[in-house]
């Protein structure tokens, strides 16, 4: 995220390589839920390992949106996830993979979104050039079905093939 401007510039791709050549030696378990999934503003609660965050995001325009993130107590996050957030929760394993000088986050979803694997890369500008890894397939940056907030109301396992 471009911290100075509170902007997130992110591109998303489906992962074609199910063999896991992109898997790093470790990953973090992420559990997240939404207090609001309004397209103009989402409010997310997330636990990742022994940390927790409250994140507010604005509407997505291309690959860019406003983002504000704040650390919160893990116990508070757990309670909000269990009692206040819309269901189902988003559950995933996040792998951080370095490729061509950038860090890619590869999310393996499970639970109600089992089978979905998405790779994301955060950029400094919307026009920044980058090399796409061989395991990154079709770009889904502009497809709202793949927004985490939308996977709550329309989980991947419910999609018709």
Catalytically annotated residues: 34
B/e letters for 89-123, b = 16+ CB within 10 Å, e = fewer, are bbbbbbbebebeeeebbbbbbeebbeebbbbbbbb
- Count the alpha carbons within 13 Å of 35 in the hemisphere toward its beta carbon: 15
């Amino acid at each position: 995220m471009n911290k100075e401007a509170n902007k997130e510039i992110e591109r998303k791709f489906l992962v074609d390589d199910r063999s896991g050549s992109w898997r790093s030696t470790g990953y973090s378990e992420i559990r997240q839920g939404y207090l609001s999934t309004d397209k103009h503003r989402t409010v997310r609660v997330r636990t990742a390992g022994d940390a927790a965050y409250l994140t507010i995001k604005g509407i997505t325009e291309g690959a860019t949106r406003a983002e504000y993130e704040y650390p919160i107590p893990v116990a508070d996050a757990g309670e909000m996830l269990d009692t206040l957030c819309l269901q189902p929760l988003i559950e995933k394993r996040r792998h951080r993979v370095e490729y061509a000088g950038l860090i890619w986050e590869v999310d393996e979803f499970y639970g109600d979104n089992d089978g979905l694997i998405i790779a994301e890369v955060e950029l400094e500008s919307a026009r920044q050039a980058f090399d796409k890894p061989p395991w990154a397939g079709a770009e889904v940056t502009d497809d709202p079905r793949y927004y985490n907030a939308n996977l709550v109301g329309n989980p991947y396992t419910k999609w018709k093939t």
